[in-house]
């Protein structure tokens, strides 16, 4: 069991990574009057019994609340329904919520916790690789609008994260592989050498979901995320924006494509696009551009957008991205190996980057 601390100045919390992390829920939440577990039917069938047993064993009154699956369920309508159900059950301000599931559950239940009774404690219990290495850490919660992904949300830090790597065994192959898109992002970030080493040296163990390898991999990614979040909890200094490497195009691909791509798959394409864009702007050399593409390809992740993607639609969506300040905003590498926020690249560079991921012929 590995413990990574998110060292926030006011309310630090731990990310517990390892087999059996969910059984520590009672230690974290013991003494609470009520705890609502928000999940989805498929996830709850596998993982809710052990979590509920741990909470009951700690003397906590617990109940399970289910939401629908898919990005469409990340909506204000779902928030309305869940809040009404929690109020009917009698959940109060000093009680707590556990978000048991992947990013859809974590984002939605986290947002519910941020607004219900003007904010109640939440524990993130991620059950997907993508959520364990990224989405569950840092307190970013949100739901979608028809106009774009994650446009309504709030910062609401959890009081703890329980990343039980044994839950990853139940993921469908495509969803597990998609989580490697965020792993690739961390491997390409400054300080990501350990992640890159694990992927390079133990690729077969990563693919086979070896528990010990996953504990090391998730722990290494979580440590990077924790350090960035602690340095910039509310995205005010620009440091935390580096976590959005590959995400500007990724969010547009998800929104425009009706979420045909899973988030990690979209991030993978977004990383190739970011590397190509940085190369077209002469911010990096050709070897770095190739490294971005080769790392994504080595993890059997997509490097091209789906057929039929339209550059104009993608640009329009990217202009609505949360990071945008009136134009197009990207996180890109530079020659020194650092990541920087870049606004409104030259249209010719954008066109070249689109060409690199199969848009525009």
Residue of 34, 140, 283, 293 with catalytic role? 140
3-state DSSP assignment of residue 159 = coil
Residue of 32, 47, 263, 293 with catalytic role? 263
Instruction: Check whether 324 has a pLDDT greater than 80.
Output: no
Q: Spell out the CATH class of 245-361.
A: mainly alpha
pLDDT for the residue numbered 257: 86
| 319 counts as catalytic | no
Residue 172 CA to its chain's centroid (Å): 18
Say what percent of the chain tops pLDDT 90: 87
Residue 228 CA to its chain's centroid (Å): 14
Residue of 182, 215, 254, 265 with catalytic role? 182
Residue 322 confidence class, pLDDT cut points 50, 70, 90: low
| 293 counts as catalytic | no
Determine the average pLDDT of the residues in 116-132: 97
Give whole-number Cα distances, 39 to 73, 99, 176, 257, 330, in Å.
Answer: 12, 6, 18, 26, 33
Q: What is the mean pLDDT of the chain?
A: 94
- The structural domains of the chain, with segments of one domain joined by +, span 2-173, 245-361
| 283 counts as catalytic | no
Residue of 69, 85, 235, 352 with catalytic role? 235
Instruction: Check whether 326 has a pLDDT greater than 70.
Output: no
| 149 counts as catalytic | no
3-state DSSP assignment of residue 322 = coil
pLDDT for the residue numbered 148: 83
pLDDT for the residue numbered 307: 86
pLDDT for the residue numbered 79: 98
pLDDT for the residue numbered 285: 97
- For the stretch 46-65, pLDDT in tens is 999 999 999 999 999 999 99
Contact between 247 and 331 under an 8 Å Cβ cutoff? The reply is yes
Task: Please indicate whether the domains covering 2-173 and 245-361 agree at the CATH topology level.
Answer: no
- For the stretch 215-253, pLDDT in tens is 999 999 999 999 999 999 988 888 888 999 999 999 999
Give the H or E element holding residue 241.
none
Residue of 47, 244, 265, 293 with catalytic role? 244
pLDDT for the residue numbered 259: 80
Residue of 149, 185, 240, 293 with catalytic role? 240
| 3 counts as catalytic | no
| 56 counts as catalytic | no
- For the stretch 143-167, pLDDT in tens is 999 888 899 999 999 999 999 999 9
pLDDT for the residue numbered 156: 98
Contact between 263 and 104 under an 8 Å Cβ cutoff? The reply is no
| 251 counts as catalytic | yes
pLDDT for the residue numbered 147: 84
CATH topology of domain 2-173: Rossmann fold (3.40.50)
| 118 counts as catalytic | yes
What's the token pair of residue 229?
């979040």
Instruction: Check whether 321 has a pLDDT greater than 80.
Output: no
Rounded Cα–Cα distance for residues 320 and 335 (Å): 28
Residue of 247, 265, 283, 293 with catalytic role? 247
């Amino acid at each position: 069991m590995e413990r990574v601390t998110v060292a926030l100045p006011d309310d630090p919390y731990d990310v517990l990574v390892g087999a059996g992390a969910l059984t520590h829920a009672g230690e974290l939440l013991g003494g609470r009057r009520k705890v609502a577990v928000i999940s989805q039917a498929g996830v709850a069938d596998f993982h809710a019994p052990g979590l509920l047993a741990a909470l009951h064993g700690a003397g906590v009154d617990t109940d399970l609340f289910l939401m629908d699956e898919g990005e469409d369920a990340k909506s204000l309508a779902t928030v309305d329904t869940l809040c009404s159900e929690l109020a009917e059950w009698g959940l109060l301000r000093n009680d707590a919520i556990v978000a048991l599931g992947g990013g859809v559950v974590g984002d939605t239940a986290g947002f519910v916790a941020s607004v219900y009774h003007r904010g109640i404690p939440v524990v993130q219990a991620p059950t997907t690789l993508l959520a364990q290495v990224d989405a569950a850490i840092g307190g970013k919660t949100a739901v979608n609008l028809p106009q774009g992904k994650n446009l309504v949300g709030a910062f609401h830090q959890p009081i703890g994260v329980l990343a039980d790597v044994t839950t990853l065994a139940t993921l469908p192959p495509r969803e597990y592989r998609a989580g490697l898109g965020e792993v690739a992002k961390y491997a390409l970030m400054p300080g990501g050498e350990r992640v890159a080493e694990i992927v390079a040296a133990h690729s077969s163990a990563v693919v086979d979901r070896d528990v010990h390898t996953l504990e090391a991999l998730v722990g290494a990614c979580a440590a990077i995320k924790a350090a960035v979040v602690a340095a910039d909890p509310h995205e005010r200094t620009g440091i935390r924006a580096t976590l959005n490497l590959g995400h500007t195009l990724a969010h547009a691909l998800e929104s425009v494509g009706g979420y045909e791509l899973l988030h990690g798959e979209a991030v993978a394409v977004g990383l190739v696009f970011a590397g190509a864009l940085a190369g077209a702007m002469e911010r990096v050399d050709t070897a770095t551009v190739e490294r971005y593409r080769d790392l994504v390809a080595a993890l059997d992740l997509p490097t091209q957008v789906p057929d039929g993607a339209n550059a104009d639609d993608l640009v329009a969506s990217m202009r609505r991205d949360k990071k945008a300040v009136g134009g197009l905003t990207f996180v890109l590498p530079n020659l020194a190996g650092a990541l920087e926020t870049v606004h409104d690249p030259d249209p010719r560079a954008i066109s070249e980057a689109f060409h690199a991921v199969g848009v525009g012929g």
